[in-house]
Structure 1
Amino acid sequence: MFLGLDLGTSGVKALLMDEDQRVLGSSTAPLTVQRPHPGWSEQNPADWIAAATAAVAQLRAAHDLSAVRGIGLSGQMHGAVTLDAADAVIRPAILWNDTRSHAQAARLDADPRFRAISGNIVFAGFTAPKLVWMAEQEPEAFARIARVLLPKDYLRLWLTGEHVAEMSDAAGTSWLDTGARAWSDDLLAASGMRREQMPALVEGNAPSGTLRPALAAQWGMGPGVIVAGGAGDNAATAIGAGTIAEGQGFVSLGTSGVLFAATDRYLPRPESAVHAFCHALPGMWHQMGVILSASAALEWFAGLVGQAPAELTGALGPLQAPGEVTFLPYLSGERTPHNAAHMRGMFAGLSARSDRADLTRAVLEGVAFAMADNLDALRAAGSDPRMLLALGGGARSDYWLRAIAAALDLPVLVPEAGDFGAAFGAARLGLMAATGADPATVCTPPRIAAEITPDPALRGAFAEGLARFRALYPG
């Protein structure tokens, strides 16, 4: 058996999988985010350990874990966990959606070495500017730093005692030479860091250590359980979805929205705000467009009108042409293609006859149009997926998927019911690390329940809707 642990922003998920990749069970323990100041987003790493412990305990209550051979890790990217020489946490972890270091990010991004070596814009959410902020605002804490870890890699330290990261997550720090798959001394020095403060690097499907005997005994596991390198959340999702070959892609409608394209080439194009990161497998990279509010936009609107998101979308009926109301989903700024933390959302075209259904459709269409912007950016950067697998909680809405197919003019594939997310991908990485199995054999795509093709009768209307959407971009 194999265990996947996915450290998300809202919870830790544990998933148990057998040798044939059948999901035997899963459990989730919740997490909360602390926001002590505007733009701040923090978590206490001790809470991650408590949540992981609780999630595994729930699994153990229902399953014998003695046959577990490998554990894989997935997690929220970009967070900064700072440790002293005794591996004690110095301050709460600064998370991916924290924007306090936007000025420091802009300064680093103005240094041409960052885009040239990392292949990416230095976004405010990335790790390097967080450490520059610490150096400037919390110098005494910064001076104590012996090691910096990404969130899931702090779980690894607890599991194995090892300071290790892997390529896909490291690519989101602004410290990695993404083409060479190695830390860059130039980028570290430019942000006041040193190589010895970085963890060792392994590939996602390689062993990173073994489970500490005390934890193995606590969880009812035998000795020598391998812990895989793992992956950042989106790369792990790609492993779970079998998105590991050139031309394959997925659209994920989670809290944020992701358009992901696998590639066997390193194709940086930072000026487009497309992310060019290492994949979780050797010799593979991926390009990714990211919008910061996807399901989060629908949940925000649902909260305003006092209904559940599923109620709102379920009442819409068949797909319609975009109406008078247009929605910009930039509730927390935007990454691709705008790279603008200051952007904010809006409804435009409201009239006295606008009703709840009109606004619901506008929210779904606004996210779909933002995804169309991402597709254009990916194509300009060298990726051209021919169809997209639909993932994430928002993919349960048939209306939303049809709107995305229409806005992107691409088929959208709906997998059969099952768990193909980051925790499943992490378990697959645990399988590969423990057994040496071939990724092509392990990372098969899910069976497809339905293919949603763009409605030719609505192609012109959605093109017009996209044009109206783009005309509203703030200057």
Structure 2
Amino acid sequence: MYLGIDLGTSAIKAVLIDATGKVRATASHALAVSNPQPRWSEQDPHAWWTAAQAAIEQVLAGAGREGISPRQIAGIGLSGQMHGATVLDKADRVLRPAILWNDGRCDAQCREIESWPGFQEITGNLAMPGFTAPKLLWLREHEPAVFERIAKVLLPKDYLRLGLTGEYATDVSDAAGTLWLNVAERRWSKRMLEATGLSLDAMPTVYEGNAVTGYLSQALADRWGMQRVPVAAGGGDNAAGAVGVGIVRHKQAMLSLGTSGVYFAVSDGYLARPEQAVHSFCHALPGTWHLMSVMLSAASCLDFTAGLSGYGSVATMLADAEQAGMRHDGPVFLPYLSGERTPHNDVHACGAFTGLRADTSRTDLANATLEGVGLGLLDGIEAVDAAGLHADDITVIGGGSRSAYWTQMLADIIGRPLTLRAGGEVGAALGAARLAHLAAEPGATLADVCEMPEVTAVCQPNLSRHAYYREHRQPKFRALYSQLAGVYRVEGAV
């Protein structure tokens, strides 16, 4: 048995799989996000650790009801939200709440990083407020007393690793999102660290995702009735999610419909396109990289509109939207509720409904939201295509994939088949468990462990609908962002 733990933004998930890859037990524990100031997003790392222990104990209890003993577990893997800055002192005490991936406070620090000679050649990425390095520059400027006490900087999942094993370690896929990694060479850049006021001593050791980074502590092994099993390096949430659905080979791709929206395409070599805010990261497996487009608000836009429109739930809103259907002259929604990454890299971007009329209904707002997220995702997919990595078939994962109506709309907007597979909703935790399997069993191969789960549905694009989106809605969507972007920047500067 192999245990995967995924530290998300809204919850920690745990999944237990057997040697065949079958999911045998799952559990989750909710997390809260703090927004103490506009554009700030933080969490308490102690809450991560408390929730992780609860999720592990829940999954062990569920497995026990199926006759599975904790001593059958042979390895643990970790995945988690990327980019978060968890800062510790010399005694491993947390110095302040972790600054999260969707925090937008450090755009000034990003401009500073962009001015550093050779920055993009080393990192393969633009400097974005969500990334880790600008957060540390912000701390150095605004909380110098905290910065001076920093002994270690850990990414969120790697704080859990410290609690599980006592080791400071990370994996290449998560490290690539810090702006401290030389992505092509898969190692820390001393030059980038020193420019941020840090040294290699402050960094965890970098491993490939399927490598062993340490072993479960004796105290926790005794508490949970487990052996001192190896803990794999694991992966950032998107890389682990890709492993979970078998997206591990060149030109395979997936679309993740979670709080954020992510398009992830695998490459067998290093590629980059920073001018369109495409993320160029290492994959969690040796010898592979990936390009990724990210929109900060995807399925979270549905929650926003459901609340704004008085729907009791997103499910009710989706059913209402499907029954009403989409008007050809309906409003347009810009999904930039938390700023945006690909392709705009605009921390001041805001959401908007435009084209409202006296007869606009809440179902029109619902359909506009679904369409607006889809058009934002299309922008990101086309940016990855322009980097030289085109995928003809895309696997869809995440909570948003539960809606057949929305998935079909997305296929029509994108113009490519969207494939749903078993296990897509626990992809990151499943991927972490698969990486644990690879780490704990040296002879295991990708063919053995990372096969693609069975297809549950395929949404083929309606070509006439795709032409409509391309010719009418996409140009309007893009023009509206361009027209309003100046307003956002002025407001953001006040």
Q: TM-score, length-normalised on structure 1?
A: 0.97
Measured in 1, the distance between the counterparts of 2:396 and 2:232 equals 26
Confirm whether residue 251 of structure 1 aligns to residue 255 of structure 2. yes
1:122-167, Cα deviation, whole Å (9 max, x unpaired) = 1101110111111111111111111111110011011111111110
Q: Report matched runs for 1:53-72 at 5 Å.
A: 53-62=53-62, 63=64, 64-72=69-77
Structure 2: segments with no counterpart, 5+ residues: 486-494
Contact 2:324 2:363 in 1 (8 A): no
Of the candidates 170, 189, 209, which is equivalent to residue 194 of structure 2? Answer: 189
Query: Are the structure 2 counterparts of residues 457 and 318 from structure 1 closer, same or farther at C-alpha, using a change threshold of 3 Å?
Result: farther
- Cross-structure match for 1:465: 473
Deviation at 1:338, TM superposition (A): 0.3
Query: Are the structure 2 counterparts of residues 164 and 290 from structure 1 closer, same or farther at C-alpha, using a change threshold of 3 Å?
Result: same
- Cross-structure match for 1:435: 441
Confirm whether residue 218 of structure 1 aligns to residue 223 of structure 2. yes
Measured in 1, the distance between the counterparts of 2:328 and 2:432 equals 39
Q: Report matched runs for 1:76-91 at 5 Å.
A: 76-91=81-96
Contact 1:160 1:212 in 2 (8 A): yes
Q: Report matched runs for 1:266-285 at 5 Å.
A: 266-285=270-289
- Cross-structure match for 1:306: 310
Contact 2:184 2:270 in 1 (8 A): yes
Query: Are the structure 2 counterparts of residues 418 and 265 from structure 1 closer, same or farther at C-alpha, using a change threshold of 3 Å?
Result: closer
Confirm whether residue 388 of structure 1 aligns to residue 394 of structure 2. yes
Query: Are the structure 2 counterparts of residues 282 and 321 from structure 1 closer, same or farther at C-alpha, using a change threshold of 3 Å?
Result: farther
Measured in 1, the distance between the counterparts of 2:268 and 2:49 equals 35
Measured in 1, the distance between the counterparts of 2:226 and 2:219 equals 10
- Cross-structure match for 1:164: 169
Deviation at 1:49, TM superposition (A): 0.9
Could you tell me which amino acid in structure 2 is paired with residue 87 of structure 1?
D
- Cross-structure match for 1:41: 41
Measured in 2, the distance between the counterparts of 1:35 and 1:458 equals 40
Query: Are the structure 2 counterparts of residues 260 and 341 from structure 1 closer, same or farther at C-alpha, using a change threshold of 3 Å?
Result: same
Confirm whether residue 371 of structure 1 aligns to residue 357 of structure 2. no
- Cross-structure match for 2:3: 3
Could you tell me which amino acid in structure 1 is paired with residue 308 of structure 2?
L
The DSSP-based 3-state class of the residue aligned with 2:293 is strand
Measured in 2, the distance between the counterparts of 1:15 and 1:70 equals 12
The DSSP-based 3-state class of the residue aligned with 1:472 is helix
1:431-460, Cα deviation, whole Å (9 max, x unpaired) = 110002112321111111221111123232
Confirm whether residue 327 of structure 1 aligns to residue 333 of structure 2. yes
* Worse overlay, 143-152 or 52-61: 52-61
- Cross-structure match for 1:15: 15
1:80-136, Cα deviation, whole Å (9 max, x unpaired) = 111111111111111111112111112112224221101001110111011111111
Measured in 1, the distance between the counterparts of 2:345 and 2:59 equals 41
Deviation at 1:333, TM superposition (A): 0.8
Measured in 2, the distance between the counterparts of 1:354 and 1:68 equals 55
Confirm whether residue 145 of structure 1 aligns to residue 145 of structure 2. no
Contact 2:245 2:421 in 1 (8 A): no
Deviation at 1:192, TM superposition (A): 1.0
* Worse overlay, 134-143 or 228-237: 134-143
The DSSP-based 3-state class of the residue aligned with 2:118 is helix
Contact 2:397 2:424 in 1 (8 A): no
Structure 1: segments with no counterpart, 5+ residues: none
Contact 1:319 1:399 in 2 (8 A): no
Query: Are the structure 2 counterparts of residues 416 and 209 from structure 1 closer, same or farther at C-alpha, using a change threshold of 3 Å?
Result: closer
* Worse overlay, 62-71 or 237-246: 62-71
Contact 2:152 2:203 in 1 (8 A): yes
Measured in 2, the distance between the counterparts of 1:3 and 1:267 equals 32
Deviation at 1:412, TM superposition (A): 0.7
- Cross-structure match for 1:154: 159
Query: Are the structure 2 counterparts of residues 418 and 131 from structure 1 closer, same or farther at C-alpha, using a change threshold of 3 Å?
Result: closer
Determine what percentage of the aligned residue pairs are the same residue: 49
- Cross-structure match for 1:362: 368
Of the candidates 176, 180, 187, which is equivalent to residue 175 of structure 1? Answer: 180
Of the candidates 97, 103, 111, which is equivalent to residue 108 of structure 2? Answer: 103
Q: CA RMSD for the aligned pairs?
A: 1.3
Could you tell me which amino acid in structure 2 is paired with residue 294 of structure 1?
A
Contact 2:245 2:423 in 1 (8 A): no
- Cross-structure match for 1:452: 459
Confirm whether residue 237 of structure 1 aligns to residue 241 of structure 2. yes
Deviation at 1:419, TM superposition (A): 4.6
Deviation at 1:371, TM superposition (A): 1.0
Deviation at 1:257, TM superposition (A): 0.4
Measured in 1, the distance between the counterparts of 2:285 and 2:466 equals 37
Contact 2:326 2:364 in 1 (8 A): no
- Cross-structure match for 2:290: 286
Measured in 1, the distance between the counterparts of 2:423 and 2:238 equals 20
Measured in 2, the distance between the counterparts of 1:149 and 1:204 equals 16
Measured in 2, the distance between the counterparts of 1:289 and 1:239 equals 17
Q: TM-score, length-normalised on structure 2?
A: 0.94
Deviation at 1:319, TM superposition (A): 6.3
Of the candidates 128, 131, 135, which is equivalent to residue 133 of structure 2? Answer: 128
Could you tell me which amino acid in structure 1 is paired with residue 31 of structure 2?
L
Confirm whether residue 413 of structure 1 aligns to residue 416 of structure 2. no
Deviation at 1:358, TM superposition (A): 1.4
Deviation at 1:387, TM superposition (A): 1.2
Deviation at 1:323, TM superposition (A): 3.3
1:448-475, Cα deviation, whole Å (9 max, x unpaired) = 1221111123232111111111111134
Deviation at 1:312, TM superposition (A): 1.3
Query: Are the structure 2 counterparts of residues 298 and 419 from structure 1 closer, same or farther at C-alpha, using a change threshold of 3 Å?
Result: closer
1:278-332, Cα deviation, whole Å (9 max, x unpaired) = 0000000000000111111111000112221111112314965643311110111
Deviation at 1:417, TM superposition (A): 6.0
